[in-house]
């Protein structure tokens, strides 16, 4: 039997992405997000209409999509309530965001130069995808309110992958499949744990960010049947 329900958000779990973009002064901004999906070498990203990352992406028309593993859960959490916007928008202040220029430094991450775009790559992420913006449009049309998000289609122009996540192939760096099961990467999974809504990759609009590793482990257990607690 099925029930007709009306949850506040329809969100069934996607990988966390750390998006690197270039600020107006040429410095690097890194922000966690989780509305991303790929088809071929193109990717669709969903960001809030006023997001600082989106402002950078529309201006520079390029970015890097860095996919963290469960080992980077702490760094993602440390980035969750930081923004590159200065001044901080009122709505972000109201939910606890603060401005931070050196977000990577605070999160304990380091960056390296990319090959085809100006945005830098996050060294600790096993997958780093240099991308250019193809098009964007408003997203979230409803009869009762205006859209509050923007959908971005980006095209991957260079993929950097740690050999540990490449499958076995005769030409692994040309035709190899990325073989790591999705439980190796950090998912965002809405859950009810201890009566509190949590989000596996930081806050991203959730109520708390403390149970990130627990939810990531729950995702691993559901999908792999194993009880390993890597990433704690």
CATH topology of domain 14-163: Pnp Oxidase; Chain A (2.30.110)
The conformation of residue 69, written as its DSSP 8-state character, comes to B
- Residue 28: both structure tokens together: 């690097």
Domain boundaries defined on the chain: 14-163
Among 40-49, 78-87, 125-134, the least confident range: 78-87
Answer yes or no: are the C-beta atoms of 65 and 44 closer than 8 Å.
Answer: no
Higher pLDDT, 10 or 87: 87
pLDDT band at 94 (very low <50, low <70, confident <90, very high): confident
**177 or 31: which carries more pLDDT confidence?**
31
Q: Would you say residue 122 has pLDDT above 70?
A: yes
Whether pLDDT at 219 is above 50: no
When computed from its CA atoms, the radius of gyration of the chain, rounded to whole angstroms, is 18
Question: pLDDT grade, residue 184 (50/70/90)?
Answer: low
pLDDT value at residue 147: 87
Of the listed ranges 17-21, 34-38, 168-172, the one predicted with least confidence = 168-172
Greater confidence, 157 or 98? 157
Q: How far is CA 69 from the centre of its chain?
A: 11
Q: What is the dihedral of CA 178, 184, 185, 191, to 10 degrees?
A: 140
């Amino acid at each position: 039997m099925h029930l007709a329900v009306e949850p506040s958000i329809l969100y069934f779990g996607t990988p966390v992405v750390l998006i690197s973009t270039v600020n107006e002064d040429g410095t690097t901004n890194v922000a966690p997000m989780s509305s991303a999906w790929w088809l071929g070498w193109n990717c669709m990203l969903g960001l809030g209409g006023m997001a600082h990352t989106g402002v950078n992406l529309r201006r520079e028309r390029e970015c890097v999509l860095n996919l963290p593993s469960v080992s980077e859960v702490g760094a993602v959490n440390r980035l969750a309530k930081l923004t590159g916007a200065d001044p901080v928008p009122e709505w972000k202040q109201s939910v606890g965001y603060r401005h931070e220029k050196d977000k990577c430094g605070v999160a304990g991450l380091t960056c390296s130069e990319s090959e085809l775009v100006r945005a830098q790559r996050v060294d600790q992420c096993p997958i780093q995808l240099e991308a250019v913006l193809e098009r964007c449009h408003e997203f979230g049309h409803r009869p009762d309110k205006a859209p509050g998000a923007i959908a971005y289609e980006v095209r991957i122009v260079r993929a950097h992958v740690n050999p540990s996540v490449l499958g076995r192939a005769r030409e692994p760096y040309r035709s190899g499949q990325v073989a790591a099961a999705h439980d190796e990467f950090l998912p965002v999974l809405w859950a009810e744990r201890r009566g509190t809504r949590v989000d596996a990759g930081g806050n991203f609009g959730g109520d708390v960010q403390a149970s990130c590793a627990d939810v990531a482990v729950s995702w691993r257990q559901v999908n792999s049947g194993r009880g390993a607690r890597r990433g704690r």
